[in-house]
Structure 1
């Protein structure tokens, strides 16, 4: 079983702004970004997808639509693949958010939700519930999933049996890809490519 997680390309948002579930535009045309991603995946000899899944946010869905047309495969949207909801922090500069609130979040990383959006625990639960269902549908692979860095890290932590906090610093570039493979005999997952 192969799943290729693809982070959306660069967005038209200033650096240092929290944009979680805000529906922001891409910096470049989605068709051009999708073509570049397809070429890179072909170079890496990633198997073509049987299905393409995507977050509904524009920065993912537009790229997924273009990729699905390129590969001639089925395509669907899933709300579970959205980035974490940062509530009142959305579209705020991280530097402008009250330091005491950020410190409180760091002290209770999984449970805090001073912003009123999702806690990390809620976000992780949502993504893991989606992934548990996905793993039971072998006919959907190889699958490409156009999503967000947070979702990609939660899935990586899940398959590797690691705490999500350990994966937070793992670099994932804009339009970066993470290729995961499960050995269907022993049901063990491995990372084939990280941030390719």
Structure 2
């Protein structure tokens, strides 16, 4: 099984603003962005999807519709693929958030909820519930248009790494992360990161 995770393209939000679960617009047009992503997927040799999943947030769903249409499909929106909910920090500038709150959150990375939204553990459980629905024994390909936090969480689970490690890995806008499940070795392999 192949799992191709696609981060949404750049959004129309000022740099330095927290917008996790906020439904913000894309900076560019979805059709143009999807065309560029499709060309990169083709150049990488990614297999055509049997299923296209997406976060329900506009910045992902609009791109997913365009990508799925290229393969005569309709994307399946799933709330478990939405970005982490940062509660009161949503739409705030990171540098305007009380430093003591950010430090407290960092000190208890998995369980702190200084912002009143989801803890990392809650977010991980939500995303993990979606990841657990994948049938690794089927020779199928799933594309999922989603967010950086979701991609890092899935990669950590698939590769058996602490999430805090994957948070440090660079992941550009419209990045492609390709995972493959090796049935014989009974393990996930990383084919591409930030492609």
TM-score, normalising length: structure 1: 0.97
Equivalent position SS for 2:24: coil
Contact 1:17–1:93 at 8 Å: present in 2 too? yes
Equivalent position SS for 2:191: strand
Once the 2 structures are TM-superposed, how far is the Cα of residue 73 of structure 1 from its aligned partner?
Answer: 2.5
Contact 1:50–1:74 at 8 Å: present in 2 too? no
Inter-partner Cα distance in structure 2 for 1:189 and 1:136 = 9
Match of 1:71 in 2: 71
Match of 1:170 in 2: 169
Match of 2:96 in 1: 96
Match of 1:56 in 2: 56
Residue-by-residue CA offset, 1:39-79 (whole Å, 9 max, x unaligned): 11001111111110000000000000010111212421000
- Is it true that 1:115 corresponds to 2:115 in the alignment? yes
Inter-partner Cα distance in structure 2 for 1:70 and 1:32 = 13
Inter-partner Cα distance in structure 1 for 2:95 and 2:125 = 28
- Is it true that 1:149 corresponds to 2:148 in the alignment? yes
Match of 2:159 in 1: 160
Match of 1:81 in 2: 81
Once the 2 structures are TM-superposed, how far is the Cα of residue 137 of structure 1 from its aligned partner?
Answer: 7.2
- Counterparts of residues 42-53 of structure 1 (less than 5 Å): 42-53=42-53
Contact 2:13–2:24 at 8 Å: present in 1 too? yes
TM-score, normalising length: structure 2: 0.97
Unaligned runs of 5+ residues in structure 2 are none
- Is it true that 1:36 corresponds to 2:26 in the alignment? no
Question: Where in structure 1 do 4 or more consecutive aligned residues deviate above 4 Å?
Answer: none
Residue-by-residue CA offset, 1:11-55 (whole Å, 9 max, x unaligned): 000010000000000000000000110011001111111110000
Once the 2 structures are TM-superposed, how far is the Cα of residue 172 of structure 1 from its aligned partner?
Answer: 0.9
Equivalent position SS for 2:145: strand
Once the 2 structures are TM-superposed, how far is the Cα of residue 186 of structure 1 from its aligned partner?
Answer: 2.7
Contact 2:65–2:74 at 8 Å: present in 1 too? no
Equivalent position SS for 2:171: coil
Equivalent position SS for 1:191: strand
Contact 1:11–1:25 at 8 Å: present in 2 too? yes
Unaligned runs of 5+ residues in structure 1 are none
